[in-house]
């Protein structure tokens, strides 16, 4: 379910990111929509849905992600708001190329 972006997709991402506030640009340089992540606290697999600007609880901004359990993604997928960047790490996969794959 993941992929390496085409040059056009990467260019579109970069162009979109350039129009965002600096706090969102900072998150967007660390987290990409084509990479899967692991929620450290639960072990769930996740992909990005959106970024939010900093607030009192999240001074570096926050991430909304779709999270699911590997054993049944169809029944366990949920959109979760308010992840700090430190809550996510790259999903470990043995088939990873330059980008992690879903």
Residue 102 Cα distances to 24, 25, 51, 71, 72, angstroms: 23, 23, 20, 14, 15
Residue 42 resides in a domain: yes
- Please state the domain count of the chain: 1
User: What is the pLDDT, as a whole number, of residue 101?
Assistant: 42
**Residue 2: inside a domain, yes or no?**
no
Angle at 51 between CA 7 and CA 10, to 5 degrees: 5
- The answer to whether position 97 is within a domain reads no
Q: pLDDT 10s digit of each residue in the chain, 102 long?
A: 567 899 999 999 999 999 999 999 999 999 999 999 999 999 999 999 999 999 999 999 999 999 988 777 777 788 899 999 999 999 987 554 444 444
59, part of any domain:
yes
What's the domain range around 26?
A: 7-90
Q: What is the structure's pLDDT at 1? A: 52
Is 55 part of any domain? yes
Domain-embedded: residue 98:
no
């Amino acid at each position: 379910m993941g992929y390496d972006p085409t040059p056009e997709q990467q260019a579109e991402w970069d162009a979109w990111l350039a129009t965002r506030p600096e706090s969102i640009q900072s998150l967007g340089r660390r987290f990409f929509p084509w990479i899967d992540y692991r929620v450290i606290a639960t072990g769930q697999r996740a992909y990005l849905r959106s970024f939010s600007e900093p607030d009192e609880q999240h001074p570096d901004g926050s991430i909304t992600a779709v999270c699911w359990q590997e054993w049944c993604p169809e029944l366990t997928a949920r959109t979760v708001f308010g992840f700090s960047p430190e809550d996510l790490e790259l999903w470990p996969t043995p088939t990873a190329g330059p980008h992690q794959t879903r």
